[in-house]
């Protein structure tokens, strides 16, 4: 048996509304709390959803502090990029040492992730775009949950070796995660890239998994073999 990890989830942004409501101009439905809750529960964790919190200092900071006091891990979505109203970095620093450990990684999607600690409690600031948030969960939050549970295998294993259906470009010095749809053709699995912006959750709903283009590569070519990590 593994310890049941308590995870607090905070959604930030004055433009965010409950997913049941119809958005007006400039508003966005809150999907991240739903998807992140599902991911945590799939790993055996318990979730406390702190709802939608305004991205004003006097509201966001106390909400994040309360979540840290009550959980083993805290996630907040939105507020991790660099901007006037993105207070995630400042908020984590006010929670006490050691504070910010990472702010920004060479990854697409998911570049603006923020990783910090308040005492022994990990705090993750995830990008607001839903695809970026879930990619960062897979690569950073999931392994942290497994580690706190005492599991030895904290990273997923690639599921299938597949043939790539088309050329894909990538920038050198950046790791790219490419979502794919898999088809069995002539006894060979073929990976068809699903392209789209990180704000489009449909690119995930249509994908069977993803493969990774490492930092030293500037792309992959049609008919190359790629290792696909399968979505469970």
pLDDT digits (tens, 9 = 90+) for 97-128: 999 999 999 999 999 899 999 999 999 999 98
pLDDT value of residue 84:
39
pLDDT value of residue 140:
94
pLDDT value of residue 204:
81
pLDDT digits (tens, 9 = 90+) for 163-190: 999 999 988 889 999 999 999 998 999 9
**Domains of the chain, each with CATH number or no CATH:** 6-148 (3.40.980.10), 160-230 (2.40.340.10)
- Please give the Cα distance from 157 to 132 (Å, whole number): 20
205: Cβ contacts below 8 Å, ≥ 6 apart: none
pLDDT value of residue 162:
96
CA torsion angle 145 193 126 124 (round to 10): 30
Residues in the chain with pLDDT values less than 70: 1-2, 79-86, 154-156, 198-199
User: Nearest CA to 162 among 198, 186, 197, 138?
Assistant: 186
pLDDT value of residue 81:
47
pLDDT value of residue 18:
87
Q: What pTM does this model have?
A: 0.88
């Amino acid at each position: 048996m593994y310890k049941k990890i308590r995870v607090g989830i905070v959604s930030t942004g004055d433009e965010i509304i409950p997913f049941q409501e119809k958005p007006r101009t400039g508003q966005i439905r809150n999907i991240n709390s739903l998807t992140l809750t599902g991911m945590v529960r799939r790993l055996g964790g318990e979730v406390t959803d702190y709802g939608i919190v305004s991205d004003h200092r006097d509201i966001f900071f106390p909400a994040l502090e309360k979540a840290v006091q009550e959980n083993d891990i805290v996630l907040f979505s939105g507020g991790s990029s660099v901007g006037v109203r993105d207070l995630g970095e400042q908020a984590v620093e006010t929670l006490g040492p050691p504070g910010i450990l990472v702010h920004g990684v060479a990854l697409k999607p998911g570049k603006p992730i923020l990783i910090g600690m308040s005492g022994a409690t990990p705090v993750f600031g995830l990008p607001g775009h839903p695809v970026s948030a879930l990619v960062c969960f897979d690569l950073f939050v999931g392994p942290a949950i497994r580690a706190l549970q005492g599991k030895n295998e904290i990273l997923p294993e690639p599921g299938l070796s597949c043939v790539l259906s088309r050329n894909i470009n990538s920038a050198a010095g950046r790791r790219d995660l490419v979502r794919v749809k898999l088809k069995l053709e002539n006894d060979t699995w073929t990976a068809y890239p699903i392209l789209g912006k990180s704000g489009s959750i449909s690119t995930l709903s249509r994908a069977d998994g993803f493969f990774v283009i490492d930092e030293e590569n500037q792309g992959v070519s049609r008919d190359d073999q790629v290792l696909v990590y399968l979505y469970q």
